[in-house]
């Protein structure tokens, strides 16, 4: 495929990622010639927003193979939910959609390109291209500076990378066997940050803040921590009672949580243990707490003994009130 090739693209899926990325495939000179989705009306709605005359078709689960007369496609771009990728790959193959195609890609962060078994068995190049940003609201007007992770067969990965480079996006290649670890990292940075902000918001409300103020307070704090972490790195950015080796304050937190939000106590303690490791690294670099205070904290943060085991968890006894 030449550097400047304009490929005929078939989109499978008409959800958030398809809506967000399809205009950028078209802007890079590729022609979207078909949009297929489980529900035909969703495929049609996306096709109407794109330049050209893309054919829109339903790809229902039942009957399993839609009798659709699809145009010739060079690049099948699957943007369907993770659990549907293998089924859609099989359905496209069974419908004859892979005849004449060169590459098939999907956008899952969790799955490798190997999930596209039928495409690979047909000798097509397969790859995954994972947008490393959250797509929930309006589609990005530009991909410039946005990160993507690419994995899979060289021939397919190279086409994706040329597209992303032309769009000004940042592409990073990873190995197939590293995808689960990579995706766990992405979940921590995106999903669990959201979950932690929800927990902070809940506790602010329990502590008497009005709901709308609680959300702004949690988000404002997180924003400043995020900016500091990005510019200084986590070891230097860490502040708070664990960075200071303040066991009395952490003990008081644990006691308050045990009464008001026991489900959050376990999460708090697990994260505190991880944070303690960060505080130790801060101390080792010469800018943090007294190591003896950090060891007192470590004792306080021992995991709770299994239910029914003898002996009390010191953390549940609480600190100063």
Ligand X SMILES: NC(=O)c1ccc[n+]([C@@H]2O[C@H](COP(=O)([O-])OP(=O)(O)OC[C@H]3O[C@@H](n4cnc5c(N)ncnc54)[C@H](OP(=O)(O)O)[C@@H]3O)[C@@H](O)[C@H]2O)c1
Which stretch in 105-113, 226-234, 246-254, 289-297 sits in contact with ligand X by CB under 6 A? 105-113
**Binding map of ligand X across residues 124-143, x = CB under 6 A, - = no contact:** ------xx--xx--------
- In the bound state with ligand X, the residue whose beta carbon lies nearer, of 85 and 279, is 85
Buried b (16+ CB within 10 A) or exposed e, 112-133: bbebbebbbeeebbbbbbbbbe
Type and span of the H or E element at 61: none
3-state secondary structure of 285: coil
Told to check if 10 binds ligand X by CB under 6 A, we report: no
Of 20 and 125, the one with the shorter C-beta distance to ligand X is 20
For the record, the structure tokens of 157 come out as 């990965």
Nearer to ligand X, 112 or 282 (CB): 112
Q: Is 152 near ligand X (CB under 6 A)?
A: no
| Nearest distance in Å: CB 43, ligand X | 7
Tell me the residue nearest to ligand X as measured from the CB: 15
The alpha carbons of the chain give a radius of gyration, in whole angstroms, of: 25
| Closer to ligand X by Cβ: residue 5 or 61 | 61
Q: Are 79 and 51 in contact (CB under 8 A)?
A: no
Applying CB under 6 A, the site for ligand X has a residue count of: 26
Contacts of 160 (CB under 8 A, 6+ apart): 105, 127, 129, 148, 150, 171
To the nearest whole angstrom, how small is the minimum distance from the Cβ of residue 61 to ligand X?
5
Site for ligand X in 29-58 (CB under 6 A): 37-39, 42
Task: With CA atoms as reference, report the closest residue to 141 among 268, 254, 15, 19.
Answer: 19
Using the Cα atoms of residue 211, residue 212, residue 216 and residue 217 in order, give the sign of their dihedral: negative
Near ligand X by CB under 6 A: residue from 5, 48, 81, 207? 81
Between 80 and 218, whose beta carbon lies closer to ligand X?
80
Stretch that binds ligand X, among 101-109, 173-181, 211-219, 255-263 (CB under 6 A): 101-109
Q: Does 61 bind ligand X (CB under 6 A)?
A: yes
Minimum CB distance to ligand X smaller for 10 or for 131: 131
The HSE-up count of residue 256 (CA atoms within 13 Å, CB side) is 13
Beta-carbon-side half-sphere exposure of residue 271 (alpha carbons within 13 Å): 14
Which helix (H) or strand (E) element contains residue 46?
helix 40-49
Q: Which residues bind ligand X (CB under 6 A)?
A: 13-18, 37-39, 42, 59, 61, 79-82, 84, 87-88, 107-109, 130-131, 134-135
């Amino acid at each position: 495929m030449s550097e400047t090739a304009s490929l005929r693209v078939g989109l499978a899926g008409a959800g958030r990622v398809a809506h967000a990325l399809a205009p950028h495939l078209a802007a890079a000179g590729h022609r979207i010639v078909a949009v297929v989705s489980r529900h035909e009306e969703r495929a049609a709605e996306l096709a109407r927003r794109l330049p050209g005359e893309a054919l829109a078709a339903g790809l229902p689960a039942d009957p399993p193979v839609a009798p659709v007369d699809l145009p010739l496609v060079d690049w099948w771009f699957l943007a369907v939910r993770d659990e549907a990728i293998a089924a859609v790959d099989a359905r496209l193959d069974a419908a004859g959609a892979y005849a004449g195609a060169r590459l098939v890609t999907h956008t899952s962060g969790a799955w490798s390109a190997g999930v596209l078994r039928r495409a690979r068995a047909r000798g097509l190049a397969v790859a995954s291209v994972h947008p490393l940003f959250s797509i929930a609201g309006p589609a990005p007007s530009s991909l410039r500076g946005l990160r993507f992770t690419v994995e899979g067969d060289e021939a397919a990965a190279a086409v994706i990378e040329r597209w992303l480079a032309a769009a000004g996006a940042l592409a990073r290649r990873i190995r197939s066997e590293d995808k689960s670890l990579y995706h766990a990292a992405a979940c921590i940075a995106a999903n669990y940050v959201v979950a932690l902000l929800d927990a902070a918001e809940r506790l602010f409300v329990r502590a008497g803040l009005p709901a709308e103020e609680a959300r702004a307070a949690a988000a404002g704090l997180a924003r400043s921590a995020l900016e500091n972490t990005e510019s200084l790195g986590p070891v230097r950015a860490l502040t708070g009672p664990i960075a200071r080796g303040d066991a009395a304050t952490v003990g008081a937190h644990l006691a308050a949580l045990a009464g008001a939000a026991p489900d959050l106590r376990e999460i708090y303690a697990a994260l505190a243990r991880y944070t303690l490791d960060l505080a130790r690294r801060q101390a080792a670099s010469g800018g943090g707490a007294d190591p003896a205070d950090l060891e007192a904290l470590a004792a306080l943060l021992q995991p709770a003994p299994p239910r029914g085991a003898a002996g009390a968890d010191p953390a549940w006894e609480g600190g100063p009130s």
